[in-house]
């Protein structure tokens, strides 16, 4: 009998599964960041031959997609209710909570294009309540894209994946006040700091007001 060349047979990696690999990979990202992820390093953490991983994931790109799936699966399910504001608020807070639970892995969800059907679950979660509220499909898609744009932009700033005026130093305040720009100088005490939760709630209220039937 012949065996596959290059990969150990599956019965040689007892206890190894795709779920275990992905969760260990997420733990690695949490500890060391996305740049630290490699099949070899992950195999060392799991105590297996690196080639054993390929019985469950096709390579690093598939591994990163899988980590994103784990994050998306952590978003709490929200049952659409009669009040669109309540439903959409619960969805937004659930998404934010799942992403901020693993900030170093957040870019995988916020910026990576995923082929898996798992990536469509948040789309379904937002579209469903909009359609149930009476939005025609075309307008519901516009609403969906507005919601996703708000969540992605806000959360990228919050996990420091994009530039932001979030520095609370005296030097930053003085720089803004001396900018020579009247509006910037007037708002300098508020531009110099950023309370991410307050900003999220403020933007979400505006969005929910716009989406309300």
Could you tell me if 105 and 50 lie in one domain? no
What pLDDT band is residue 14 in, cutting at 50, 70 and 90? low
CATH number for 25: 1.10.10.60
Could you tell me if 190 and 128 lie in one domain? yes
Specify if 75 maps to a domain: no
- How many structural domains is the chain composed of? 2
Could you list the residue range(s) of the whole structural domain that residue 164 is in? 80-211
In percent, the amount of the chain with pLDDT more than 70 equals: 89
Specify if 2 maps to a domain: no
Q: Indicate whether 152 pLDDT > 50.
A: yes
Specify if 19 maps to a domain: yes
Mean pLDDT, rounded, for 117-142: 90
- From 66, 65, 23, select the one nearest 46 (Cα to Cα): 23
Quote the mean pLDDT of the chain: 86
Specify if 73 maps to a domain: no
Instruction: Calculate the CA 2 to chain-centre distance.
Output: 44
168 versus 111: the higher-pLDDT residue is 111
Could you tell me if 44 and 146 lie in one domain? no
CATH number for 159: 1.10.357.10
Could you tell me if 53 and 97 lie in one domain? no
Residue bearing tokens 């019965």: 11
Alpha helices (runs of H) in the chain, residue ranges in sequence order: 18-32, 39-46, 60-73, 84-100, 106-110, 121-132, 137-158, 170-177, 182-186, 188-191, 196-211
- From 66, 26, 59, 73, select the one nearest 45 (Cα to Cα): 26
pLDDT of residue 35: 92
pLDDT of residue 168: 56
pLDDT of residue 5: 45
Specify if 1 maps to a domain: no
What pLDDT band is residue 197 in, cutting at 50, 70 and 90? very high
Q: Indicate whether 164 pLDDT > 90.
A: no
What pLDDT band is residue 1 in, cutting at 50, 70 and 90? very low
106 versus 166: the higher-pLDDT residue is 106
Exposure string for 114-145, b = 16+ CB within 10 A, e = fewer: beeebbeebeebbbbbbeebebeeeebeebbe
Could you tell me if 200 and 135 lie in one domain? yes
The two tokens of residue 18 are 């795709």
Specify if 129 maps to a domain: yes
pLDDT of residue 54: 93
Q: Indicate whether 142 pLDDT > 90.
A: yes
């Amino acid at each position: 009998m012949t065996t596959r060349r290059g990969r150990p047979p599956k019965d040689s990696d007892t206890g190894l599964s795709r779920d275990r690999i992905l969760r260990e990979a997420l733990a690695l990202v949490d500890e060391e960041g996305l740049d630290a992820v490699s099949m070899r390093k992950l195999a060392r953490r799991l105590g297996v031959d690196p080639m054993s991983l390929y019985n469950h994931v096709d390579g690093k790109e598939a591994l990163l997609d899988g980590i994103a799936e784990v994050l998306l699966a952590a978003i709490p399910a929200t049952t659409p209710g009669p009040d669109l504001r309540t439903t959409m608020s619960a969805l937004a807070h659930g998404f934010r909570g799942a992403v901020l639970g693993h900030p170093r892995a957040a870019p995988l969800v916020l910026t990576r294009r995923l082929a898996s059907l798992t990536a469509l679950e948040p789309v379904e979660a937002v579209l469903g309540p909009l359609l149930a509220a009476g939005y025609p499909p075309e307008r519901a898609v516009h609403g969906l894209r507005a919601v996703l744009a708000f969540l992605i932009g806000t959360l990228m700033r919050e996990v420091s994946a994009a530039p932001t005026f979030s520095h609370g130093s005296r030097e930053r305040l003085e720089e803004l006040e001396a900018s020579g720009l009247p509006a910037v100088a007037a708002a300098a005490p508020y531009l110099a700091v950023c309370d991410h939760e307050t900003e999220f709630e403020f933007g979400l209220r505006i969005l929910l007001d716009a989406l309300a039937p």
